[in-house]
Amino acid sequence: MKILTVLTSHDQLGQTGRKTGFWLEELAAPYYVFKDAGAEVVLASPKGGQPPLDPKSNEPDFQTEATHRFEADTEAQSALASTVSLQSISLDDFDAVFYPGGHGPLWDLAEDGNSINLLASALASNKPLALVCHAPGVLRHVKNTDGTPVVQGKKVTGFKNSEEAAVGLTEIVPFLVEDELINKGGQYSSASDWASYVVKDGNLITGQNPASSAEAAKQLLLLISESVRQ
């Protein structure tokens, strides 16, 4: 079992002068869900190499057992320092794809042609796919073969407008995930702010926020096992 995990390469939070990137818990928690199930995890990013970590995600209030484990894991740190370039990836080599969030993906993965093509191919081929928190927003330009948005008519979730407002970035981000999913025809739903909430529609799994990342990963493993049985 081989799972591709796609991380952002973008480190600037708009014009604020502050740093952003991927959210640590959203990588660490799924990483160990996958690894503890015996999966091989390959990390990729648009630019390859070391992807930027959102420094806020490593503050004490946001650290978890999984983030501490990841920080102390030399194998995981080595993999993170040398992510594979996204353009070199072949989807056929993987059983599933996972996208952690953080604000970074809104700037690069949402617009990156290699990411858009990867997502479109995964959905078209019924490859298990999960995206959490801000990452569902990277589906904004992904289309079906008939040109319609891939989220049109699908049950989806992602970072809520009220959660974005709570972190004070509503006017900073290039778009709001909730609004974008709805604008593209997605059947958006959510739980209360910061609660774990995961939605599955066919081979597409979406999670609302960092707390949803481990459950989204578990749901992805179930999809993989179902696809193997078919």
Condensed to tens digits (0 to 9), the pLDDT of residues 33-92 reads 999 999 999 999 999 999 999 999 999 999 999 999 999 999 999 999 999 999 999 999
Residue 226: the pLDDT is: 82
Residue owning tokens 């589906």: 139
Task: Indicate the DSSP class of residue 168.
Answer: T
- How is residue 41 written in tokens? 């995890």
pLDDT in tens, 88-127: 999 999 999 999 999 999 999 999 999 999 999 999 999 9
Contact, 60 vs 21, CB < 8 A? Answer: no
Instruction: Provide the number of structural domains found in the chain.
Output: 1
The residue range of the domain holding 38 is 2-229
Angle, alpha carbons 208-214-219 (nearest 5°) = 85
Q: Does the pLDDT value for residue 170 go beyond 60?
A: yes
**Which of 190, 136, 192, 193 has the alpha carbon at shortest distance from 163?**
193
Residue count of the chain: 230
Q: First and final CA of the chain: distance in angstroms?
A: 15
pLDDT of res. 228? 66
CATH number at residue 73: 3.40.50.880
- Beta-strand relationship, 129-132 and 155-156: unpaired
- Whole-model pTM: value is 0.97
DSSP 169: -
Supply the angle between the helices 24-36 and 213-229 in degrees, to the nearest 10.
40
